[in-house]
Structure 1
Amino acid sequence: MNRSIIIAIIIAVGVTAWIASGQIDMSGDGEDTAGNAAAATNTENVSEETATAEYEQNAPKIMGVRYLTFTAQPRQREIIVHGKTEANRVVELKAEISGRVKSVHVNDGDRVKRGDRLVSFDVKDNEARLQEAQALVRQREIEFNAAQKLNKKGFSSDTTFASAKAQLDSAKAQVTAMRIRLNDLVINAPFDGYIEKRSAEVGDFVKDGNPIATIVESDPLIVTGQISELQVGNIEVGGEGSAQLVTGEEVTGSVTFIGSVADPETRTFRVELEVPNEGYKLRSGVTAEITFKTNSVKAHFLSPAYLTLNDAGVLGLRAVGENDIVEFYPVKILSDTPDGVWVQGLPETVRLIVVGQDFVRAGDKVKPDLFVAEATK
């Protein structure tokens, strides 16, 4: 065999064996590949750390707050109006006939019962007139009985009988009129009360319609006020109320009247509270502050320090809602007391933020912590 061919074969076999063994000298390229892989890994680690740092820096911070749990309680709302006391009835008694005052039976300030005599007029000839009328009745009765018997026997016409009946009725009417006139000669008290003023004196000649006395009924006493059109629908006749008088007395009673027509100038309605006044200790015309009780509603009692304003200036409270998200509830103050305020507008049970409420807004996520202190009732 040709020597050159043998050499070529040997070289080919050697190259083939060398390639098959994977020992090609690529040390330079291998080192570069490994270096590139390590560099890529380091770059990825740096990017992840940078991204984490940026996220932590830009992520919203969770504010820690403290809360208390409040549950709604029944609360009877109150409406306060200013008014005054008034007598239940004030009547000026007047003469029904003309005559001279014979005697007076009461003085100013006297207490009287219904039917008590106040003033008496001189009877003069009125009793004689009554006796005359009664005598005429007896005469007409005899004439009527006779006409009735004759009419039954057919000796008298129906016209004659009817005339006798009419004359008898007329005589009886005269007796009734005279008795009424005699009764009018005495002025009696129409109801229990006291005499505010007596106008008639003994010897006065009083004409028909002239004032005799003023009688006042102040038990019960009426406390009146004007309630606004926005609140009048919250009270009803029969409801409870109380009044604080400027003289220091405090009385309670029930609503007896609510006006149905508003005052055209003030757009308010008259309301009356009836209170007992045994012994007439309370006086009419005294300034009073009236408090009316309304229907019971659900409300929360809390410290006014928990109240806050939202960005729109609305008064309300911030609470911890679901998933610890802050919620804002506008509220209405029902009443303010030295111990706290009653508010309406919250859920029946709510976790109110009592510490940190001014540093969070609705929609913020917070880290709530129960306020360890005695809760306000």
Structure 2
Amino acid sequence: MNRSIIIAIIIAVGVTAWIASGQIDMGNDSESGSGDAVAATKAESTTAETAETEKNQPKIMGVRYAISTAQPREQEIIVHGRTEANRVVDLKAEISGRVKKIHVDEGDRVKAGDRIVSFDVKDNQARLQEAQALVRQREIEFNAAKKLNKKGFSSDTTFASAQAQLDSANAQVTAMKIRLNDLVITAPFDGYIEARAAEVGDFVKDGNSIATIVESDPLLITGQISELQVGKIEVGGEGSAKLVTGETVKGKVKFIGRVAEPETRTFRVELEVPNDGYKLRSGVTAEITFKTSSVAAHFLSPAYLTLNDAGVLGLRTVGENDIVEFHPVRILSDTPEGIWVQGLPETVRLIVVGQDFVRAGDKVKPDLFVAEASQ
């Protein structure tokens, strides 16, 4: 065979083999790239499914709580009122007469029976002596009639007439003594003279004012209590009052009204307090606090209070299985140190940090709150 033909055949076989080997490599590369794409697609799908699963799961919020235990707490009812004198009496003349002597001045303290004003006696003493003389005459006539009646020399009618005349004479003496007593105005009780209308030389008619006497020991502190609270206090119960002048006094409930004021539907209440030396004055504004029955309450910071979606004031706590609970509460009292509230169970895990970021029914991750954690 021709040498050139053999060479040409060899070259053709080599070219064919080279071309065939390139096609095989390209096929392998294609198959390898296709496998990588499938793996990437599967990985991307798994990541998306994981993200969707995490998105659907509820997020657990971390909160801090403090253990709160209820304590006995006396309820308080606060009423605004004012101080009043226990008694105020306007002394008036019982007979007409001219003022002869003034025994007291305004502001003086007096005891029961002390003289306030004396009237001129004039002829009243002489009239008393005349009445007493008549009594002595009637006694002689009565004794004579009595002896004659026993002996049968006088009728029963004559004896009865003598008895009546003697009684009449005694009545005149009594009336004159009363009149003389009325010429001196005396204090009916211990107190002080708030005002005096009479002066020496004044002619005073019966019924005219002489002086005003005030009894302010004990002192009354009065106010109006609502119809919802009046049943929580009773006569004899304890109370205290803070006066606008700065004094704080304690006493007992003296009176509770039975009929409400038509306009306000409130009842009058009186707190009786001691007032030694009349240091406390009448008519001063006061804040009265009445003690009532003891209840279980929690003492806490007002910063822990929150509102639910309905606008109800309350507190959020961590319940069983770390589920948030909402408890509506009522504030019993407010002090500079904190507040007393009612409406919680006896012992609770009270949420003190994060309470505004969770709702009732949420599951939380609770952490015990300690003082050092807040520093």
TM-score, length basis structure 1: 0.82
Matches of residues 235-314 of structure 1 in structure 2 within 5 Å? 235-314=233-312
Letter in 1 for 2:258: S
**Equivalents in 2 of 1:115, 1:374: separation in Å?**
71
> What are the superposed Cα offsets for residues 160-180 of structure 1, whole Å, 9 maximum, x if unpaired?
222222111111111111110
Shift of 1:54: 6.2
Please name the residue that 1:39 is paired with. none
**Equivalents in 2 of 1:167, 1:330: separation in Å?**
86
Matches of residues 50-89 of structure 1 in structure 2 within 5 Å? 57-89=55-87
Aligned pair partner of 1:339 in 337, 340, 348: 337
Shift of 1:73: 0.9
**Equivalents in 2 of 1:360, 1:160: separation in Å?**
109
Please name the residue that 2:25 is paired with. none
Q: Provide the secondary structure at the position in 2 that maps to 1:67.
A: strand
**Equivalents in 2 of 1:49, 1:214: separation in Å?**
97
Q: Which moved more, 1:114-123 or 1:154-163?
A: 154-163
> What are the superposed Cα offsets for residues 344-371 of structure 1, whole Å, 9 maximum, x if unpaired?
1111111111122222222223332222
Shift of 1:55: 5.5
Please name the residue that 1:12 is paired with. none
Please name the residue that 1:143 is paired with. 141
Q: Provide the secondary structure at the position in 2 that maps to 1:209.
A: coil
Shift of 1:290: 2.0
**Equivalents in 2 of 1:62, 1:212: separation in Å?**
84
**Equivalents in 1 of 2:87, 2:106: separation in Å?**
17
Specify whether residues 374 and 134 from structure 1 end up closer, same or farther in structure 2 by C-alpha distance, changes over 3 A only: farther
**Equivalents in 1 of 2:198, 2:163: separation in Å?**
43
**Equivalents in 2 of 1:82, 1:64: separation in Å?**
45
Letter in 2 for 1:188: T
Please name the residue that 1:201 is paired with. 199
Mapped pair 1:222 → 2:220: yes
**Equivalents in 2 of 1:90, 1:284: separation in Å?**
11
Letter in 2 for 1:367: K
Q: Which moved more, 1:155-164 or 1:200-209?
A: 155-164
> What are the superposed Cα offsets for residues 15-52 of structure 1, whole Å, 9 maximum, x if unpaired?
xxxxxxxxxxxxxxxxxxxxxxxxxxxxxxxx999998
**Equivalents in 1 of 2:60, 2:97: separation in Å?**
96
Aligned pair partner of 2:172 in 169, 174, 179: 174
Letter in 2 for 1:182: L
Letter in 2 for 1:208: D
Q: Provide the secondary structure at the position in 1 that maps to 2:270.
A: strand
Aligned pair partner of 1:370 in 364, 368, 371: 368
Mapped pair 1:114 → 2:112: yes
**Equivalents in 2 of 1:151, 1:363: separation in Å?**
110
> What are the superposed Cα offsets for residues 323-350 of structure 1, whole Å, 9 maximum, x if unpaired?
3222111000111111111101111111
**Equivalents in 2 of 1:51, 1:57: separation in Å?**
10
Please name the residue that 2:26 is paired with. none
Q: Percent identity?
A: 86
**Equivalents in 2 of 1:357, 1:200: separation in Å?**
73
Please name the residue that 1:328 is paired with. 326
**Equivalents in 1 of 2:210, 2:303: separation in Å?**
64
Letter in 1 for 2:370: V
Specify whether residues 185 and 365 from structure 1 end up closer, same or farther in structure 2 by C-alpha distance, changes over 3 A only: same
Specify whether residues 152 and 300 from structure 1 end up closer, same or farther in structure 2 by C-alpha distance, changes over 3 A only: same
Please name the residue that 1:356 is paired with. 354
Shift of 1:183: 0.3
Aligned pair partner of 1:102 in 97, 100, 103: 100
Shift of 1:102: 1.0
**Equivalents in 1 of 2:48, 2:214: separation in Å?**
94
Shift of 1:63: 2.8
Q: Which moved more, 1:361-370 or 1:343-352?
A: 361-370
Shift of 1:56: 5.4
Please name the residue that 2:156 is paired with. 158
Shift of 1:66: 2.0
Q: Provide the secondary structure at the position in 2 that maps to 1:263.
A: coil
Runs (4 or more) in structure 1 with deviation over 4 Å come to 47-57
Residues matched between the structures, number: 330
Q: Which moved more, 1:362-371 or 1:107-116?
A: 362-371
**Equivalents in 1 of 2:239, 2:340: separation in Å?**
19
Q: Which moved more, 1:85-94 or 1:227-236?
A: 227-236
Please name the residue that 2:91 is paired with. 93
